[in-house]
Structure 1
Amino acid sequence: MHRVPAAVVLAAAAVLVLVGCSAPESDPEATPTPPTPADVPEDDFTPVIARVLSVPRGVPTTDGRVHIAYELALSNVTSQTATIESIDVLDGSGSSLERLDGDAIVPWVAVSGAPEPGRVLGPGQGALVWLDVVVDSMAELPEVLAHDVTFGFEPGALPVISDEMTERLAVTEVDPAPPVVISPPLAGDGWLNGNSCCAVTPHRGAVNPIDGAYHAPERYAIDYVQLDADGAFVTGPVDELASYPYFGSDILAVGDGPIVSMRFDLPEQTPGANPTGLTLDEYGGNHIVQDLGDGVYAFYAHLQPDNPMRVEVGQELERGQAIALLGNTGNTDSPHLHFHLMDSPSPLGSNGIPFVYDAFELAGEITADDLFAHLSDGGPFTVSASESGKREDLYPLWLTVTDYPG
């Protein structure tokens, strides 16, 4: 005998409650029109439910394409075990834009509470899925996205839950607004993008449970270190700040607008190791939050202490103005600038907004294997310059090396 899942029992109970409600008064002279079969939607039972964390947007990037980076939150509401077999992202016409099958799903999924990566959701368990849908241009941006997700269930619960089910989940509009255009937050050559969209990097994967909801403020966040002529960002012992030649570089305002909050009281961390014992409000280290208008805020993090530029809350900043110095404060293991745009002044309780730089030089890129092999030593990395050249109104992808005008 098959056990009826709890979700079915709850649905049945809800029907009983509705039946017990009194009907509203009606006009006795009105003749009701009975619904035709075409008017009554067919219900689909979805043992795993889903939603997107925020409305997806597209951004043109340095690979010549447009990336739509967003997150899907899954919840297995049954007492069955659900295994994700495939994820198919569809446009409004039903055409597939991205598909993940089998173990290829694993790098893009984090199951709540699971100690290891996987694609199995236990009873009542949730998961986050990071998606990167790519189209050729902003003109080809889909109006809507839908997700056909196939799950295997163990045990099944016929006739409601079969051993394998494909569910249409989280149909969402796509925001057609273009990305925010800003100027770079740094000047000079050789700035390596060490963490950013659109792979699941530490920033892209940072989804925060803040104030009772998920937030993805670092969806497009970038960590910058500067490479020297040999392709390294460390020139001496990794635990000494003097070994990082770019330490103390000017941080520049990316647009016009006032400072809405800032902090400059935290000390420099010793590089070469991850700090411990930080409170939630210390993770960004010394930082500035700037209001760029239209609900867009810029976040500049891990700045040097003591407010060397003597900026103030409420001060109107101008694009290109030096506002701080690159430091190593907060949650950081080496000097770098953390930068992102967000939809509220909260660095953690917001959602990341896509942006592009108005003008820069693409110097090249490194490989992920090269990064992981030499990151702990600070390089040197091999920079491939095959796609180098001037760029305008593009977002620099993970592992790119860029030169910014002074």
Structure 2
Amino acid sequence: MLNVMRAEPEPVIVDFPLRGEWVAAYTPAEQIPSHGSDQLGQRFAYDFVRIQRDEKGWKFFRPPIIAYALFGVRLKDCYGWGEPIYAPFDGVVISANDGWPERKRLHFLRDTAVVLKNGLFFNLEKPGDLRSVVGNHVVLKMRGREVYAFFAHARLDSVRVHEGDHIKCGQYLADVGHSGNSTAPHLHFQLMDRANILEAQGVPCGFRAYQALIDGVWREVKEGIPGKREFIRYGE
């Protein structure tokens, strides 16, 4: 677990928003900005993907890799798709946005082309419908602090909260999905200093407690920052 945030403010510690076993595909433990940009408040953002580990390698879907390359795979055949997302702290829902469709099958070339197109034509001055980039999403304000959590790419019709709802830590918010700029079902999660992602600055974030697979052994981690491609698990 690298810590490249030493020169940054102390991370805000929250609960992990998923259950079971996940991998951080993007993490501020590897680089800052974690996604290569400070835009949209994502300086310290994470992408969490559910991946199968076996002797043949890692993959995020059940069918053979050749099927993914040639024909694509169905969303329901992806390990992370539809997994619940939970509130990482007590707070209030600032916005809850659903209704953006998901591509029904994953295909590497097509999904990559969509992401590149959206990235090239996205304009901060005239952003249009943000769901085309961030997909179905929720913004949650932490109780008592000007800290906001942003959850992106949720499954279509899965958002279970509404603007103004008061939320308890661990409450079910939505499901992991493949909406917006997504090449695989995943949760994009970040903390910010304000609700509007067009104006927000990222806030460093660590997780209160989880287990990390280190040298083949699951070990307890307190107030940690998951490393890139580090297997972590929580709650199950």
Would the TM-score normalized by the shorter structure come out above 0.5?
yes
Within the alignment, does 1:334 sit opposite 2:184 as a pair? Answer: yes
Alignment of 1:347-366 (within 5 A): 347-364=197-214
**Please, what TM-score do these two structures have when normalized by structure 2?**
0.80
C-alpha displacement of 1:205: 1.0
Equivalent-residue separation in structure 2 for 1:330 and 1:66 (angstroms): 29
Cα deviation, residue 66, structure 1:
6.3
Are positions 1:67 and 2:5 aligned together?
A: yes
> For 2:194 and 2:188, how far apart are their aligned partners in 1?
17
Shift of 1:398: 2.1
Secondary structure, counterpart of 2:196 in structure 1: coil
Structure 2 distance, partners of 1:186, 1:402, is: 10
Distance 1:322 1:248, change over 3 A: same
Query: Is structure 2 residue 94 aligned with structure 1 residue 260?
Result: yes
**How far apart in 2 are the matches of 1:185 and 1:351?**
21
Show the counterpart of 1:186.
18
Could you tell me how far apart the structure 1 residues matched to 2:223 and 2:79 are?
A: 29
TM-score (norm 1): 0.48
Q: Tell me the CA shift for residue 333 of structure 1.
A: 1.1
| Counterpart pick for 1:271 among 89, 99, 106 | 106
Letter in 1 for 2:41: P
Deviation at 1:345, TM superposition (A): 0.6
Structure 2, unaligned runs of 5 or more: none
Please give the alpha-carbon distance, in whole angstroms, between the structure 2 residues aligned to 1:193 and 1:250: 17
Q: In structure 1, the residue corresponding to 2:76 is in which secondary structure?
A: helix
User: Is residue 30–residue 227 contact of structure 2 (8 Å, CA) maintained in 1?
Assistant: no
Secondary structure at 1:324 match in 2: strand
* Equivalence for 1:25: none
Letter in structure 1 aligned against 2:175? L
Q: Distance in 2 between matches of 1:201 and 1:234?
A: 29
1:207 aligns with 2:38: yes
Aligned to 2:78: 244
Determine whether 1:197 maps to 2:28: yes
| Identical pairs, percent | 28
SS in 1 for 2:149: strand
Q: Which residue of 1 aligns with 2:41?
A: 217
Deviation of 1:67 after TM superposition, in Å, equals: 2.6
Distance change (3 Å), C-alpha of 1:315 and 1:264: same
**How far 1:202 moved relative to its partner?**
7.8
Q: How does 1:169-180 map to 2 (within 5 A)?
A: 175=9, 178-180=10-12
Structure 1: runs of 5+ lacking an equivalent: 1-61, 71-174, 209-215, 365-383
Moved more, 346-355 or 193-202: 193-202
Alpha-carbon distance change, 349 to 69 in structure 1, aligned in 2, over 3 angstroms? farther
AA in 1 matched with 2:222 = E
User: Which residue identity is paired with 1:393?
Assistant: E
- Which of 199, 202, 224 is the matching residue for 1:394? 224
Instruction: Tell me, in whole angstroms, the C-alpha distance in 1 between the residues paired with 2:79 and 2:31.
Output: 29
Partner AA of 1:400 in structure 2:
E
1:255 and 1:396, CA in 2 relative to 1: closer, same or farther beyond 3 A? same
**Which structure has more RCO (C-alpha within 8 Å, separation ≥ 6)?**
2
Task: State the match for 1:83 in structure 2.
Answer: none
CA distance in 1, matches of 2:6, 2:35: 13
Contact 2:4 2:31 in 1 (8 A): no
Letter paired with 1:197? P
Q: CA deviation at 1:363?
A: 1.4
The count of aligned residue pairs is 209
Please identify the structure whose Cα radius of gyration is greater.
1
User: In 2 relative to 1, CA 180–336 (structure 1 residues): closer, same or farther, beyond 3 Å?
Assistant: same
Contact 2:136 2:152 in 1 (8 A): yes
- Are the structure 2 counterparts of residues 361 and 268 from structure 1 closer, same or farther at C-alpha, using a change threshold of 3 Å? same
Partner of 1:172: none
- Flag the 1:69–1:347 CA change in 2: closer, same or farther, 3 A: farther
